[in-house]
Amino acid sequence: MEKKYVVRLASEERKGLKAIVSKGAANARKICHARVLLKVDADGPNWTDEKTGEAFSIRANTVRDIRQRFVEEGLDA
């Protein structure tokens, strides 16, 4: 299935997300969302929603929601 909301991270965004993941100082939800965005990045690993969901033990619908929120509202959302 073709992705409706394609995540393309800028280098600054990717760097910020990697910092969130590596420091582990944020809440678990924020860290999980950062990991998801890094894996679904079209200019990076470009994992499918199903593969990403399976890797992080979340539903594929949750991955889609994270992608949609990022595309529509940006990284702060």
Q: For 5-49, what is each residue's pLDDT tens digit?
A: 999 999 999 999 999 999 988 899 999 999 999 999 999 999 999
DSSP state for residue 26 in the 8-state scheme:
S
Quote the pTM value: 0.93
Quickly list H helices, the chain: 11-23, 28-40, 49-56, 60-73
Tokens at 33, concatenated: 């969302």
Residue 40 has which token pair?
């679904």
First to last CA, the chain: 25
Nearest alpha-carbon partner for 55 in 30, 71, 38: 38
pLDDT interval class at 66 (50, 70, 90): very high
